[in-house]
A and B are shown apart, each in its own frame.
Chain A
């Protein structure tokens, strides 16, 4: 079931300019909230985007994986 924003228990923020599009966060998310985006940042990478905020639980596994520490998590 696709969650709505009301069901989410956390949120993340991905730094668009800092992301290097390594994709490590995409399979890391247990709820598959993160997708690779289309927009190209100043470094030339198609940064990851927080695609499904409704499912986010704020578990911070994506942030643990991010080698560039560009994910912040709130709960």
Chain B
């Protein structure tokens, strides 16, 4: 019976993208980094730009990008990925350059770099993974940590009088003139994953058409540091996090009007 069923279905409709290296990842079970990696690899395959892509990884759980994505990757100091990407892109304008950063990296130590890279309209693509905490170092409070969220450095929950409010990077970067594309997506339902793919492709397209800076923010989970099961963490993204960080496209440039 089994053998018959096996013979029957021969058209492969889903398999590992070519740009995603076939290795075991170091991510915790249920971490959405894996989904974001897959979407990134699928987009690279979609445009057929694997041979001319240069990635810039940052510090955090996303640091092992060079082991998982089958492209050339430069490793940047903490938060400095947009600055390194600027250098790479200016030295080799024909290459496709992207950075892949977490929220501790992009929204905390690298705020200056990201804002100025966006304001200069650098022709790079930034994938920003927002899981509201510092994942790799043990779940400390990040600028994106939700109010009331307990982390190892805010054991009584984040409180706005002491720690301020969670920063909304997609909206913030959308206000800058150099930004061509800014969107926030999530990967917690099949529809959201589809929209995320669309957003990443749009962001890639912006760079290919030389429109300027493009950024896609992913609402991700960190089951380990949130102290939740992967499925509960997914529900948190759909509920509390999507409420504060609304999903959607915040800016989309139609034509290169800044030239």
- Mark out the residues of chain B between 1 and 42 whose CB falls within 8 Å of any chain A CB in the assembled complex: 1-2, 4-6, 8-16, 20, 24-25, 27-35, 38
- Mark out the residues of chain A between 5 and 26 whose CB falls within 8 Å of any chain B CB in the assembled complex: 5, 8-11, 18, 20-24
Which of B53-61, B170-178, B228-236 participates in binding chain A?
A: B228-236
Contact of B14 with A5 in the complex, beta carbons under 8 Å: no
Whether a CB of chain A sits under 8 angstroms from the CB of B239 is no
Who on chain B is nearest to A71 by CB?
B14
Closest CB in chain A relative to B91 CB, distance in Å: 33
Closest CB in chain B relative to A66 CB, distance in Å: 8
Contact of B14 with A28 in the complex, beta carbons under 8 Å: no
Q: A8-B5, A23-B231, A24-B234 are in contact. Are A64 and B193 (CB under 8 A)?
A: yes
Residue with the highest number of chain B CB atoms closer than 10 Å, among A9, A45, A75? A75
Contact of A69 with B231 in the complex, beta carbons under 8 Å: no
Main secondary structure, interface of B, reads mixed
Closest CB in chain B relative to A70 CB, distance in Å: 9
Contact of A72 with B12 in the complex, beta carbons under 8 Å: yes
Closest CB in chain A relative to B37 CB, distance in Å: 8
Closest CB in chain A relative to B108 CB, distance in Å: 24
Contact of A72 with B32 in the complex, beta carbons under 8 Å: no
How many inter-chain contacts with C-beta < 8 Å in the A-B complex? 86
Contact of B38 with A5 in the complex, beta carbons under 8 Å: no
Closest CB in chain A relative to B43 CB, distance in Å: 14
Complex partner residue of B231 from A24, A58, A71, CB under 8 angstroms: A24
Interface size on B, residues (CB 8 A): 34
Contact of A60 with B5 in the complex, beta carbons under 8 Å: no
Contact of B34 with A68 in the complex, beta carbons under 8 Å: yes
Closest CB in chain A relative to B64 CB, distance in Å: 14
Contact of B9 with A11 in the complex, beta carbons under 8 Å: yes
Closest CB in chain B relative to A68 CB, distance in Å: 5
Who on chain B is nearest to A4 by CB?
B1
Contact of B29 with A69 in the complex, beta carbons under 8 Å: no
Which residues in A have their C-beta under 8 angstroms from that of B4?
5
Which residues in A have their C-beta under 8 angstroms from that of B33?
67
Residues of B within 8 A of A (CB): 1-2, 4-6, 8-16, 20, 24-25, 27-35, 38, 190, 193, 223, 229-231, 234
Beyond contacts A23-B229, A68-B34, A73-B12: 19 other A-B pairs, Cβ-Cβ < 8 A, are A11-B8, A11-B9, A20-B28, A21-B29, A22-B230, A23-B230, A23-B231, A61-B190, A67-B29, A67-B31, A67-B32, A67-B33, A67-B35, A68-B25, A68-B27, A69-B16, A69-B38, A74-B10, A74-B11
